[in-house]
């Protein structure tokens, strides 16, 4: 398989904080992400793109709820599939616009991700989706047990749903074949459509899988060389928000795990990215990078760069890589 990077973009990269999520806003943000993906491609990487869908699927749930008297609402796993198609189309068009006819192809794969029906996440929903709510809105929507709502990192209230651990990617071999053909592939969008094994096949189950953990699972399934977790900060910060706050450019998996255990990386922000990076490296991946889209290429090329030009790399051991293959 060619040198491959699995790149995970948050749903907030497509609907940014303070935006309402109009199509024109999402399209403009997708174009910015496409430019970063093409830079990785120009640097010699095959790219598999994974995107989040928290804002988009949450908004779609509200649309379904408000129109329930006219149109039967669909299960949450169906809405996962709908946003996977919508955002996959958005990114595909943006990539074609950015790269023109220089690409062999761009393909978006509706991806099903296997989870366990006994995952404890189903009894303890914690994944925030949709817009931020004030206390009055949250109380109203939670009334009667229709929604479960929780405060999200002090920024307001959001609906929370189950987010089980991904165990397997149903379409792995199809995605591998597309990458081998030189195509940019968007897959496991929004963490994929959660399914459980049943008989000879699968059935959907209501949840939203964390896209960083889905990207980790996909990267390991594809034997990818790198996992890139794109966020809106350039580097991971230790002691965030304190006078001792400081960026870090490289951590071993063990160091990252100690910081995670110490509560440095909350689940509502950097926690899932750090856990995904640790899991990828401990599973045999060469390096995971947490950074902004603009620093991704420099963080992977193995060349010496000033600390303020690269992101945070998580590796198995503290040895300098001569580029990641």
The residues carrying an active-site annotation are 11-12, 127, 211, 273
Largest interatomic CA distance in the chain: 60
Of 273, 202, 197, nearest to 232 by C-alpha is 273
Q: Which residues contact 293 (CB under 8 A, 6 or more apart)?
A: 9, 13, 32, 33, 35, 36, 230
Q: Is 307 exposed, middle or buried (0-12, 13-18, 19+ CB in 10 A)?
A: exposed
Q: How many residues does this entry show for the chain?
A: 325
Q: What does the alpha-carbon distance between residue 214 and residue 169 come to, in Å, rounded to a whole number?
A: 8
Q: Is 215 exposed, middle or buried (0-12, 13-18, 19+ CB in 10 A)?
A: buried
Q: What does the alpha-carbon distance between residue 217 and residue 166 come to, in Å, rounded to a whole number?
A: 7
- Edge-to-edge strand list for the sheet holding 193-198: 168-169, 112-114, 193-198, 201-204
* SS3 of residue 270 by DSSP: coil
* Residues 6, 211 contacting (CB under 8 angstroms): no
* SS3 of residue 37 by DSSP: helix
Q: Is 156 exposed, middle or buried (0-12, 13-18, 19+ CB in 10 A)?
A: middle
* SS3 of residue 1 by DSSP: coil
Q: What does the alpha-carbon distance between residue 311 and residue 235 come to, in Å, rounded to a whole number?
A: 5
């Amino acid at each position: 398989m060619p040198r491959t990077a699995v790149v995970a973009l948050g749903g907030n990269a497509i609907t940014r904080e303070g935006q309402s999520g109009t199509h024109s806003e999402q399209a403009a943000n997708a174009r910015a992400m496409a430019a970063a993906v093409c830079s990785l491609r120009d640097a010699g990487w095959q790219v598999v793109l994974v995107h989040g869908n928290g804002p988009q699927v949450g908004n779609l749930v509200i649309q379904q709820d408000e129109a329930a008297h006219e149109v039967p609402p669909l299960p949450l796993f169906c809405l996962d599939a709908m946003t996977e198609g919508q955002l996959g189309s958005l990114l595909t068009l943006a990539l074609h616009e950015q790269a023109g006819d220089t690409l062999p192809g761009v393909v978006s794969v509706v991806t099903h991700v296997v989870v366990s029906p006994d995952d404890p996440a189903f009894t303890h929903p914690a994944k925030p989706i949709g817009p931020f709510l004030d206390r009055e809105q949250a109380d109203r929507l939670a009334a009667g047990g229709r929604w479960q709502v929780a405060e999200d990192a002090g920024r307001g209230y959001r609906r929370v749903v189950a987010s089980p651990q991904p165990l397997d990617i149903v379409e792995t071999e199809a995605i591998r074949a597309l990458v081998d053909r030189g195509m940019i592939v968007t897959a496991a969008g929004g963490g994929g459509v959660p399914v459980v094994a049943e008989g000879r096949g699968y059935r959907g189950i209501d949840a939203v899988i964390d896209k960083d953990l889905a990207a980790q699972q996909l990267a390991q399934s594809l034997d990818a060389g790198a996992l890139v977790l794109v966020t809106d900060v350039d580097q991971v910060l230790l002691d965030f928000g304190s006078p001792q706050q400081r960026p870090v450019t490289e951590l071993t998996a063990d160091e990252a795990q100690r910081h995670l255990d110490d509560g440095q990386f909350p689940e509502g922000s950097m926690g899932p990215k750090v856990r995904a990076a640790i899991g990828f490296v401990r599973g045999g991946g060469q390096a995971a990078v947490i950074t902004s889209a603009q620093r991704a290429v420099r963080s992977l090329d193995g060349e010496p760069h000033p600390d303020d030009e690269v992101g945070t790399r998580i590796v198995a051991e503290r040895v300098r890589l001569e580029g990641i293959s």
